[in-house]
Amino acid sequence: MIPLLTALIISLAVAGIFALRPLTARIKTVFHSNPVVNTQIKFQSLQLVLAAIVLLLVYLLNPENFAHFFRLGNVNAQISKIAWLGVTGNETWLEIATSIGLFITLGTAIFMFFQLKKAGVDYRYFVFSLLWAIPFSMTNAFSEEAIFRLGIVSPLYGIFSVSIIILISGIVFGGPHYFGMPSGVVGALMAGFLGWLLALSLLETHGLFLAWALHFVQDVVIITSMILMSRKPVTV
């Protein structure tokens, strides 16, 4: 019963995230002259409400598991061996997050760089874009970790194996990114791998902080790029 309810909650949450985009367009209140900043203010506010609803529902499904995972966690917890990533199992999650996180962020940055190059952005607005991207990334990372990580791990922990749970999280997180940013097959695969890794971090550190932090850094790169692309390129 719990797996079915979990699938229903997450499916509705994913549908809700997609529904928020046209909904924000119908909100005529203008909070900022920049279109991406204005949209993000409305979108992130509504997504936080959606995340709060998901958190409440998964808490009701399994309060004990929820209390166990809805905390900062231990970033110095030992990571399991992942041979294909070169992880021996002797490292801490903080060490792995620092090293692998650097490569993931570099991959995200390279992907976004080509988008920026294609758009011919005006880099004079970089600081402006970054300063707005930081709070948006904080909220977006929390909302998506609440939905795609805690929303899946908390109710399913103890029912399915760890390998199945993290696979579900990766697929559910990667799939919608086909239509998101980064987009397409490459974007979906990048997001799927990240979702898989972050779900494992949640399970093994017994907390959200590390997953949120890794997610936050990726979002800073992505949202900064999105705001930069909203500026008209300089013509000479």
Give me the pLDDT at residue 188, please: 87
Q: Is residue 9 part of a domain?
A: yes
Q: Is residue 235 part of a domain?
A: no
Band of pLDDT at residue 191, cut at 50, 70 and 90: confident
Q: Is residue 103 part of a domain?
A: yes
Give me the mean pLDDT over the 37-46 stretch.
96
Q: How many domains does the chain have?
A: 1
Contact between 93 and 204 (Cβ < 8 Å): yes
Band of pLDDT at residue 215, cut at 50, 70 and 90: very high
Q: Is residue 236 part of a domain?
A: no
Domain that holds residue 175: 2-229
| Whole-Å CA distances, 49 to 39, 142, 197 | 16, 12, 26
Report pLDDT digits (tens) over 100-158: 889 999 988 998 998 898 888 888 999 999 999 999 999 999 999 999 999 999 999 99
Say how far apart CA 17 and CA 6 lie, in whole Å: 16
Q: Is residue 101 part of a domain?
A: yes
Give me the pLDDT at residue 236, please: 41
